[in-house]
A and B are shown apart, each in its own frame.
Chain A
Amino acid sequence: MSVTPEHPADLSRRTLLRRAAAAGLLVTPAAGLLSACAGSEPSKSDDSGAAKSKDNPFGLKDGSAVKVVIFNGGLGDQWAKEDKTVFNAKHAGVTVNMSSTQKIKTEEQPKMSTQPSDLVMNSGADMMDISTLVNEGAIEPLDDLLAAPAWDGEGTVADTLLPGTVEDGTFQGKFFVVNVAYTVWGNWYNGALFTKEGWEPPKTFDEFFALAPKIKAKGIAPYVHDAVHGYYPRWALMATIWKSAGRQVVIDIDNLKENAWKADGVLPALQAWEKLVKDKLLLPGNLNHTQSQQAWLDGKAAFIQVGTWLKNEMAATIPPGFEMKLSDYWGLGATDKAPKDVFAGAGEGLVVPSKAPNKAAAKEFLRAVLSKSGSTKFAELTKSLASTKGSGDGVQDSALSTANELMKNAPKDLIKAKFFDFYADLDKESQNLSEELMAGRLNAQQFVDKMQAAADKVAKDSSIKKQTRA
């Protein structure tokens, strides 16, 4: 954030306060818990633009500046620098001030009600709660971006996006979040090992339970997962619930419908996981994400469940000859209501704060991010698909190509649960219960009962704003 006033006479009380707050962060780190709640006053934004055209649909002013903050996590930040080049090729007169950080919430939340950055990538462990941002009116609806012409191609921006991207960014009927990375989740295995042993990657839990003894006989644990962050096991549990019970049940769960967790198909899905734990098919120890992924790379476990960022995250330690392959989450078999649905979606969301001084430039930058040239670079650099169509076509890589293949055979419906984005209480409870189930301290029936109780509590709480999905 620039704290230099445009004219010396502009050194208002507000500017002074802002400087003081910035300096305060340096001076009193220990003032901690109390002052964490403190903020300051809002400022007005100047959004009067230039003329709008096909090449400049938001009326971006030449000579203005745009402040872009990128989350520098698993995907790195090089892709965003490439987007800056793409952007400046069309708008040479606009200055892009790009910075990257891992502390999105720590650095951006205090500025949201005063003078925020123009474009913020809200991602990582330290991200701002999205439903709070929407409820508080702190971020800008971007429906006009979807309707704008694509940067380099036919049709509108919306036409270029992969299925799920618009839905994933939509809250309360408006499109708020541009998720740039397209992620596919599932069970990963080492293709080379499976070929050597003559093992066939299972499609259902029954096939897995049949294969498991053979894997164990080789001194390998059949399964490993991140047991420290509850949202990792929760992906797998929700995927199995969706496959077994079908789409409508998960939608009912998200909408806090009465007894939604007790619907047919939910309990058997969780019982499959309970059996996996009870039969001791997990690698012992409570490992975190990188520890469990390394254990899998080291050949200590046959399967690991995680998303397509895996390759990029572990790039430095993949042993030679290791063939990362992605297979779909397992269903229960013949009784499944939606056996073919794939767990995928757009993630790593960029948002435009409502009080951003240069919203036109922020939206224009997003158009550049979603361009063909931008997203091809994205897939190349991050080894992850972009949320625009065809970004991974040119990339040669077993992890990316198996993910591509999975998406090609996938029906239009994507596995998607939203209750943990809607309600922080259910988010916490479902993470905790997923950990407990996978640690064997909770059985499937208890999981269902406790989740139902937590959902009922939220449904009854009038202080919590309700959200629905269709």
Chain B
Amino acid sequence: MRHGVARFVTGFLALPVALYLFYVVWPFAQAAGYSLTSWGGYSDKQEFVGLDNYVRLFSDELIRKAFWHNVFFLVTVPLFTIALALFLAFLLNVGGREDRAGIRGIFGSGIYKVIFFFPQVLSLVVIAVMWQQIYRSDGQGLINGLLIKVGLVDADNPIAFTADPEPFLGVPAVLWWLLLIAVWSGAGFYMVLFSAAMQSIPKDIYEAAILDGAGRFHTFFRITLPLLRDTISVAWVYLGFIALDMYALVFVMTPSQGGPNHASEIFASVLNFTAFQKGQFGYACAMGVSLAIFTILLAALQLRITRRERIEY
């Protein structure tokens, strides 16, 4: 009988595992292989160069710049997205007044949930095209148009948004404008995720706290946040992946894809340029492999740091 079950399970698993190995793992392995060659991408000549491509990465100024821009997103995207998502989720679930039915969200929270989640159902390209209109750098742009009408912005000197390389807090302004889009489009999903987690926290814990005289501030920081630790930790890892990518936004939103003058260059945009414009697929694969290793290490580290005793409830 047990023997039969094993065969049954194997039969079902074999195909998906084979597909996964072939379509996902094998291309990754191939990329790792190419990263040791000086392949140009169009011929069948692949000269083996050992670890040269990886050594070159360390002296590449553009890659270093791109790396720090990715680090900027790595810190800010999860931080701001999670903060905003938590704040919204708290308001929508336990932020309202308490009555006989117990703790509830603020008035109209159902509608807000739909509105905040909405960016998640749009494709990233649709979002980018929409924000191009919002960020348009003349009087026809949504923000510039309004501010010029109100008189806050000079029509001869409109806000440049993603074409602005001037540093703000030491980071090119274009990266802050991209961050705003990333946070706006990501917060809704994590709000729903955190809402689900919050709803699984027993209401009586809140009621007990309120009876003891805890205000909203204390209920949030003493109850909600500690009990959401696991969910937030997972969200942090996911958002870290998104922050290390950011390719679509940079590609669609910035001048000369990574501009102006390299001010928004990230790992993926340099990789794209190296592979497809410069025709150095070997070197580009080395970048991809390095990014993959960096991502995996980061995820492992993140999960390790946040691992703690689970609180049962």
Q: What chain B residues lie within 8 Å of A432 (beta carbons)?
A: 256, 259-262
CA distance A105 to B144 in the complex (A): 36
Q: B278 and A129: CB pair below 8 A?
A: yes
B255 contact from A105, A228, A424, Cβ within 8 A: A228
Query: Given A27-B19, A283-B138, are A136 and B41 also a contact pair (CB < 8 Å)?
Result: yes
Q: A285 and B158: CB pair below 8 A?
A: yes
Q: A113 and B43: CB pair below 8 A?
A: yes
Question: Taking the nearest CB of chain A, how far is it from the CB of B124, in angstroms?
Answer: 12
Question: Taking the nearest CB of chain A, how far is it from the CB of B244, in angstroms?
Answer: 10
Q: What chain B residues lie within 8 Å of A135 (beta carbons)?
A: 40, 279
Which residues 96-152 of A sit at the B interface, judged by CB distance below 8 A? 105, 109, 112-113, 128-129, 131-133, 135-138
CA distance A285 to B160 in the complex (A): 7
In the assembled complex, A339 has its CB within 8 A of some CB on chain B = no
In the assembled complex, B45 has its CB within 8 A of some CB on chain A = yes
- How many A-B pairs have beta carbons closer than 8 Å: the answer is 145
Q: B279 and A33: CB pair below 8 A?
A: no
| Closest residue on chain A to residue B160 by CB atoms | A286
Q: A435 and B276: CB pair below 8 A?
A: no
Question: Taking the nearest CB of chain B, how far is it from the CB of A22, in angstroms?
Answer: 11
In the assembled complex, B22 has its CB within 8 A of some CB on chain A = yes
Q: A136 and B42: CB pair below 8 A?
A: yes
Q: A109 and B41: CB pair below 8 A?
A: yes
CA distance A287 to B160 in the complex (A): 10
Q: A27 and B23: CB pair below 8 A?
A: yes
Q: What chain B residues lie within 8 Å of A287 (beta carbons)?
A: 137-138
CA distance A229 to B140 in the complex (A): 20
CA distance A228 to B245 in the complex (A): 22
Q: B284 and A37: CB pair below 8 A?
A: yes
Binary contact readout A5-47 vs B (1 if CB under 8 angstroms, 0 otherwise): 0000000000000001001100110010111111101100000
Query: Given A228-B256, A286-B137, A432-B259, are A112 and B42 also a contact pair (CB < 8 Å)?
Result: yes
Q: What chain B residues lie within 8 Å of A133 (beta carbons)?
A: 42
Question: Taking the nearest CB of chain A, how far is it from the CB of B208, in angstroms?
Answer: 45
Which residues 127-186 of A sit at the B interface, judged by CB distance below 8 A? 128-129, 131-133, 135-138
A291 contact from B136, B276, B285, Cβ within 8 A: B136
Query: Given A33-B288, A34-B289, A441-B165, are A284 and B156 also a contact pair (CB < 8 Å)?
Result: yes
In the assembled complex, B277 has its CB within 8 A of some CB on chain A = yes
Q: What chain A residues lie within 8 Å of B292 (beta carbons)?
A: 34
In the assembled complex, A431 has its CB within 8 A of some CB on chain B = yes
Q: What chain A residues lie within 8 Å of B276 (beta carbons)?
A: 105, 109, 128-129
Which residues 37-72 of B sit at the A interface, judged by CB distance below 8 A? 40-45
Q: What chain B residues lie within 8 Å of A113 (beta carbons)?
A: 42-44
Say which one of B24-32, B81-89, B195-203 lies at the interface with A: B24-32
CA distance A128 to B40 in the complex (A): 12
Question: Taking the nearest CB of chain A, how far is it from the CB of B264, in angstroms?
Answer: 12
Q: A280 and B156: CB pair below 8 A?
A: yes
Query: Given A31-B23, A33-B288, are A424 and B136 also a contact pair (CB < 8 Å)?
Result: no
Query: Given A37-B275, A129-B278, are A28 and B24 also a contact pair (CB < 8 Å)?
Result: yes
In the assembled complex, B301 has its CB within 8 A of some CB on chain A = no
In the assembled complex, A427 has its CB within 8 A of some CB on chain B = yes
CA distance A113 to B43 in the complex (A): 5
CA distance A34 to B273 in the complex (A): 14
Q: B279 and A20: CB pair below 8 A?
A: no
CA distance A228 to B135 in the complex (A): 13
Count A-side interface residues using an 8 Å CB cutoff.
51
B136 contact from A33, A37, A285, A436, Cβ within 8 A: A285
Q: A38 and B30: CB pair below 8 A?
A: yes
A35 contact from B28, B160, B245, Cβ within 8 A: B28
| Closest residue on chain A to residue B261 by CB atoms | A432
Question: Taking the nearest CB of chain A, how far is it from the CB of B250, in angstroms?
Answer: 13
In the assembled complex, B175 has its CB within 8 A of some CB on chain A = no
| Closest residue on chain B to residue A464 by CB atoms | B278
Q: A24 and B23: CB pair below 8 A?
A: yes
Which residues 202-235 of A sit at the B interface, judged by CB distance below 8 A? 227-230
Q: A230 and B259: CB pair below 8 A?
A: yes
Which residues 153-209 of B sit at the A interface, judged by CB distance below 8 A? 155-158, 160, 163, 165
CA distance A31 to B31 in the complex (A): 11
B277 contact from A37, A112, A424, Cβ within 8 A: A424
Which residues 101-149 of B sit at the A interface, judged by CB distance below 8 A? 136-141, 144
| Closest residue on chain B to residue A40 by CB atoms | B30
Q: A132 and B41: CB pair below 8 A?
A: yes
In the assembled complex, A439 has its CB within 8 A of some CB on chain B = yes
In the assembled complex, B237 has its CB within 8 A of some CB on chain A = no
| Closest residue on chain A to residue B273 by CB atoms | A428
Question: Taking the nearest CB of chain B, how far is it from the CB of A150, in angstroms?
Answer: 32
Q: B42 and A33: CB pair below 8 A?
A: no
Q: What chain B residues lie within 8 Å of A39 (beta carbons)?
A: 30, 41
CA distance A31 to B247 in the complex (A): 14
CA distance A284 to B288 in the complex (A): 39
Q: What chain B residues lie within 8 Å of A313 (beta carbons)?
A: none
Q: B158 and A284: CB pair below 8 A?
A: yes
CA distance A133 to B157 in the complex (A): 43
In the assembled complex, B74 has its CB within 8 A of some CB on chain A = no
CA distance A291 to B40 in the complex (A): 36
In the assembled complex, A385 has its CB within 8 A of some CB on chain B = no
Q: What chain B residues lie within 8 Å of A326 (beta carbons)?
A: none
Q: What chain B residues lie within 8 Å of A24 (beta carbons)?
A: 22-23, 27
Q: What chain A residues lie within 8 Å of B19 (beta carbons)?
A: 27
Query: Given A229-B255, A285-B158, A435-B255, are A37 and B30 also a contact pair (CB < 8 Å)?
Result: yes
In the assembled complex, B281 has its CB within 8 A of some CB on chain A = yes
Question: Taking the nearest CB of chain B, how far is it from the CB of A241, in angstroms?
Answer: 20
Question: Taking the nearest CB of chain A, how far is it from the CB of B268, in angstroms?
Answer: 6
Q: B256 and A230: CB pair below 8 A?
A: yes
B288 contact from A23, A37, A428, Cβ within 8 A: A37
Q: B157 and A284: CB pair below 8 A?
A: yes
Q: Which of A133, A295, A432 has the most CB of B within 10 A?
A: A432
Question: Considering the complex of A and B, which 7 residue pairs feature the smallest CB-CB distances, nearest first?
Answer: A285-B138, A132-B279, A35-B27, A136-B43, A286-B163, A138-B42, A136-B42
Further contacts, 19 of them, CB under 8 A, given A31-B24, A33-B291: A20-B23, A27-B19, A28-B24, A33-B245, A34-B288, A35-B27, A36-B275, A36-B288, A37-B35, A37-B288, A38-B31, A39-B41, A113-B44, A135-B40, A136-B43, A431-B256, A435-B260, A435-B261, A436-B261
Provide a sorted-by-A list of 11 A–B residue pairs whose CB atoms are within 8 angstroms: A20-B23, A33-B291, A34-B28, A36-B288, A131-B279, A230-B256, A230-B259, A284-B157, A291-B138, A432-B256, A432-B259
Which residues does B use to contact A, with CB under 8 Å?
19, 22-24, 27-28, 30-31, 34-35, 40-45, 136-141, 144, 155-158, 160, 163, 165, 245, 247, 255-256, 259-262, 268, 271, 273, 275-279, 281, 284-285, 288-289, 291-292
